[in-house]
A and B are shown apart, each in its own frame.
Chain A
Amino acid sequence: MSDDLLEMYEQMAIIRRTEKAAYDLFMTGLVKGTTHLAAGHEAVAVGASAALRPDDYVFATYRGHHHAMARGATAEECLAELMSRATGICKAKGGSMHLTKADKGMLGSYAIVGAHLPMAVGAAWSAHLRGSGQVAVAFFGDGATNIGAFHEALNLAAVWKLPVVFVCENNFYMEYTPIGDVTATEHPAAGRAQSYNIPAEIVDGNDVVLVREAMTRAVERARAGDGPSVIEAETYRQYGHSRADPAKYRPAEEVERWLKRDPIDLARARLEALGITPDRIAQVDERAKAHVEAAIDAAKNAPEADPNEAFTDVWADGSAVWRT
């Protein structure tokens, strides 16, 4: 148990430091476009991934750095992508919003809200058709629960009884607006699941152990052929919605309350309660720090993306040829 938790703690520490690096690199002009940082959400990705098989499928959103990394994307290839390097995880053709690690079953980060829920249903349908025992997972924000694709996906998954888990990262804000102001149910995902006869659980999304436990139940249910589940993991963004957003709309005492429940601090407290010494934890912290620093250096020193790459990967033969 403590070894598992230590491993999850280290993953979260690496993700947090990578997000901090992304923020800092943006400020120095090395990262362009936009970023949607997941600092504060680490326990959802790491806890949920810890309950999955290596061949399971994950679909995430434009706030998806943590999901890519929880499935095995390295800090270096993610930061290289953000810095438009040839060594980027998507050859610098995707950017921050589309981190993907397909060979680890992480089938993409999608920047149209809710679009990937039906895809996860399709991956689960495929697993069912092939009898592979795989499970598909869609991670999405609370804002996605108000778009049609969410509802079409839940209904189809339920009527076809597919092995899919819908994990809502409820951070209580859809972009700049409190989710409660624009949603008719108190629990945006779990509250809707009932209408599709899908069992739902609300979990503390900042506690990596509780997330893993809830996810384990949902995944077992899916693998047993009992159909989809919804998990609503309550968590909080430590940065604004995107790079441009200082998040001044959130009450200071609310931010303060959530920062006191930082998922990494909660995991550390659990480790200490299990008898892991502060020295041992400090070693892990140091290792995570060195790992991300090395990743930043490697990404900075990697070559810029080759402009000719713009004309590869349109078609399956690798080309971009559209006419004779």
Chain B
Amino acid sequence: MENLNPNQNATITYRDAVAEGIAREMRRDPTVVCLGEDIGAAEGVFKTTVGLFKEFGPSRVWDTPISEQAIVGAAMGAAMTGMRPVAEIMFSDFLACCWDYLANEIPKVRYMTGGQVTVPLVVRTANGGGLGFGAQHSQAVENWALTVPGLKIVAPSTPADTVGLMASAIRSDDPVVFFEHKGLLASKGPAAPPDHVVPLGQASVVREGTDVTLVSLAYTVPMALQAAERLASEGISAEVIDLRCLIPLDMATVLASVGRTSRLVVVEENPYQGGWGGTVVSIVADEGFELLDAPIRRVAAENVPLPFADALEDRVMPTTDKVVETVRKLAAY
């Protein structure tokens, strides 16, 4: 996969930021508890729970069997009764094993009981491809969660945002699905300041530009930034937006940016069919049509299962080259 993380001198990895974000909340709120497979003494297969078991012990960090339904179902029951559980589903592909809870139970129980219960929980999961894990361990499935009203959806791109969004996710009284990108775990960035909180539903303009707006999320944020850098050398000024959350969806920031640039390219890792970019562009088409001077483009994964070999995976997933090429053509429109 491409090296999208040139900032190697900074102070904390995305991986450590996950554990740091959880630890900060566990320190300030005794009702925050963690459960998942291999998250305790083993400190997580992705090492995103390093230090938690040591600091908080087995009464706050619980190892589970390989039982995704029991993990997420138990988190739901605990959340309904006074706790703030943080459940780990190891690979986001495995959300399918407990999909009933994310599709039918957690997002609906508050509504269908007329507001009688609240479900303050976080389901964390390692998402995304580019690492050669094959079709069942590589998917970007944030669009799955987007199909169900009632879930908040977070997908950070930097270590500091990971800490700040984890704080908001755990403090949220609504259920949150928190996607941690496998391709970003080793990336580094500035550490989060103390008490860092990034509100849910606020996109960030991570690079200003005047010719085209690139809307990105998680792994496609550094990809869009790298594309913007290359485009700048060709005289094309790209503005890059990191959505940070899919729900709440910060369309005000997107529409304001399109108002400045008049061109929109969405860069998303989930498949084109049913991908989140479809929702973003439909809103821009509805509400921002007059802002546009060119058709909207989406750079997304191809509509095939993710293949294993690097050459095949690169062919299927969005890449910096594909973003640059798409923007180039659009700029000439």
Contact = CB atoms under 8 A, between A and B. Distances in A.
Interface of A: 57, 59, 88-95, 98, 100-103, 107-108, 110, 112, 115-127, 129-130, 134, 136, 148-149, 152-153, 155-156, 159-160, 312-318, 320-324
Contact of A120 (B65, B77, B100, B174): B77
Contacts of B114: 88-94, 100, 313
Between A120, A149, A323, the greatest number of chain B beta carbons within 10 A of the residue's beta carbon is seen for A323
A117 B77 CA distance: 9
Contacts of A130: 82-83
Contacts of A103: 116
A159 B81 contact: no
B195 to A, nearest CB: 22
Interface residues of B, number: 50
Contacts of A115: 73, 100-101, 104-105
B67 interface: yes
Contacts, number: 166
Between A57, A112, A118, A316, the greatest number of chain B beta carbons within 10 A of the residue's beta carbon is seen for A118
A316 B73 contact: no
Contacts of B81: 57, 107, 122-123, 126-127, 134
Between B100, B149, B249, the greatest number of chain A beta carbons within 10 A of the residue's beta carbon is seen for B100
A126 B110 contact: no
B78 A314 contact: no
Contacts of A134: 81
B113 A152 contact: no
B59 A129 contact: yes
A160 B65 CA distance: 11
Given A129-B83, A321-B248, A322-B248, A313 B70 contact: no
Contacts of B55: none
Given A93-B112, A117-B73, 4 more contacts: A98-B112, A102-B116, A126-B77, A129-B83
A136 B104 contact: no
B314 interface: no
Between A110, A123, A127, the greatest number of chain B beta carbons within 10 A of the residue's beta carbon is seen for A123
Contacts of B83: 125-126, 129-130
30 contacts: A57-B81, A59-B77, A93-B112, A95-B112, A101-B116, A102-B116, A108-B109, A108-B117, A115-B100, A117-B73, A118-B69, A118-B101, A119-B80, A119-B105, A120-B77, A122-B73, A122-B85, A125-B62, A125-B83, A126-B77, A126-B78, A126-B82, A134-B81, A136-B77, A149-B70, A156-B70, A159-B65, A313-B114, A322-B247, A324-B251
Contacts of A89: 114
Contacts of B110: 313-316
B36 to A, nearest CB: 12
